[in-house]
Chain A
Amino acid sequence: MAYKTIVEDNIDILVAGAGLGGCGAAWEARYWGQNKKIVIAEKANIDRSGAVAQGLYAINCYMGTRFGENNPEDHVRYARIDLMGIVREDLLFDMARHVDSAVHQFEEWGLPIMRNPKTGAYQREGRWQIMIHGESYKPIVAEAAKKSADKVYNRICVTHLLMDESKENRVAGAVGFNVRTGDYHVFKSKTVIVGAGGASNIYKPRSVGEGAGRVWYAPWSSGSAYGLLIGAGAKMTQMENRIVLARFKDGYGPVGAYFLHLKTYTQNCLGEEYESKWWPQLQEMVGKEYLDPEASHRTHRPIPTCLRNHALISEVNAGRGPIHMVTMEAFQDPHLEEIGWHNFLGMTVGQAVLWAATDVDPKYENPELTTSEPYVMGSHATGCGAWCSGPEDVSPPEYFWGYNRMTTVEGLFGAGDAVGGTPHAFSSGSFTEGRLAAKAACKYIDDGKAEGIVVSQQQLEERRKEIYKPLEHYRIYRNEITAGSVNPNYINPRQALDRLQKLMDEYAGGVTVNYMTNEKLLQIGLKKMKILEEDLEKIGAENIHELLRAWEVKHRHLTSEAVMQHTLFRKETRWPGYYYRGDALKVDDKNWHVLTVSRRDPTTGEYTMEKAPCYHIVDTAEESAA
């Protein structure tokens, strides 16, 4: 094929994926590496890419330490209980102690952050959330990244990481293709920071047809954070910890501001409060340590997100759906009504479109809620991602191997969704993780750890061949049939995605089986997943756009297999409301108060699973030091 090969050589820091995490990495790298070569490879256009492309109406991770509001350890405790005890507290503490500096810089750059007129502090939506006019959140942050980077390559789909051939398990850059020109792009780099995204669209969505695009997480979040890292043999953690969201029905509009700021609440079809009646039964499943409604009433301690999902799911299954969000009270206040609408326009316009289309005026009608299909990501109320080193002054020995946010592959770092065990980072925390990874990557280079990297022509040629194989495959077999999409030799990317979604839904606890799975189902699912992998070798792409979709589904497949392996390994139901292991329906702290860690051998595809200890931050004195 006539596609050119374009080589960008001598890169110090390659940022693969420039959402909030990648932008933070590129921005900060310039400070610690003023003479270093920093290059960004982004699948879309950096001005509107990643999960924040559409904007945000809140920054969900801000300590307010400056205003005396919270200390980092408070945030650790919050994320810990929300995730049923299983998180990487070293990474959380580290992110939390830096995140405010990112947020204040956003304001300096022009991001409109609302202020509380009485206190002068940022306007709180809840304890951790602050309210912003964030339609241009991403373009503003992208300006900063562009200012720091030597080069920004837009529209590059990064498919693989390059590996050093002189030293085992060391990264050497990345390869991919330009989704417009089709050209093959080679980035030879001393370090790579993966800022790519988590995964939408790996589970069959509730919507059908056109509405399949109305996913909660962006449809372009193709699990590349995991596809790239797993493909390079990096260890992953907590991949079973997928998330299910309780959201406005069909539009998946956010509920955070509604609950926290507008003080709306939920009820069943009879107009009753329903959550509390599910607590006693649920408490038997998870134990009082994780569900203590009285303690939650008295203190700021939240009831974990998954458990609130469980109540909603159970109430609907008991025949008392739909669940409604009671907006009719709050929306009588014109100011709150306006906030309710702005909230959607700032981050989920589709929900506003849906209410306009269905004449739902929340002032006179309480809208319906539902639980979504599951998503795999690492920066919301879930912590999927790579097993990364923490900072040296916080991390215990099992969590530390030299460089903050470095994966188990040398020179390969992560930020945002790519880093595992760090839920509740959200936009600002992901940006902060990028900054931390960038500083560490500069140190890694300055310490001489990236000397003598060798990438052979053979490695580049093999990857090139692999990348274009779907186009070649299509070309060879297309004319065996008259017309149409049914061909005995290949499936197209959409067909592959449909199969993946059905498989994940039915065997790994999707929405049509009420999030239920078990060992037998997962074993069958994994077998089918292997066969899908064989068929993905025979995927056909008609053009460059389909080639993009082909590689996206390959990344989604690697992600999904990891989800299944981890779900099979953890023999308990740690997060009821996210998923259920029907053969182990209780939380089992005796055996499973641990982080799950996996590695997929890049040559054989074999998985090895292990448990890693879960460390908790505890107060040395009785009272927390301020």
Chain B
Amino acid sequence: MVVSVQFLLRGDVSARFFVLARSFPTIALFGFTLVFLGYFEVKTGGYFIFQFSSFLEIIFLSLALAVRTGKLRDEKKQAKKEVLQAQRQN
């Protein structure tokens, strides 16, 4: 979490989704601990907290990967454009 927040502060857009993805299991594990320590009582739905959080984590990681892949593709396109421009000038 700390490392991803550090990257988010550097302005990495995909890190935004990554931090969000990582926060779901962190919150769920924290909630689970509180339940086990007896601070909360859960109904049947509460037992799906982990499944729900891991599902959301995977979804947001997918989004983060999609943003990252898109960014890499754009960078590649830009680099190609610059090479072509340089070739034309020569």
Tell whether A and B belong to one assembly.
no
Binding site for A on B (CB under 8 A): none
Binding site for B on A (CB under 8 A): none
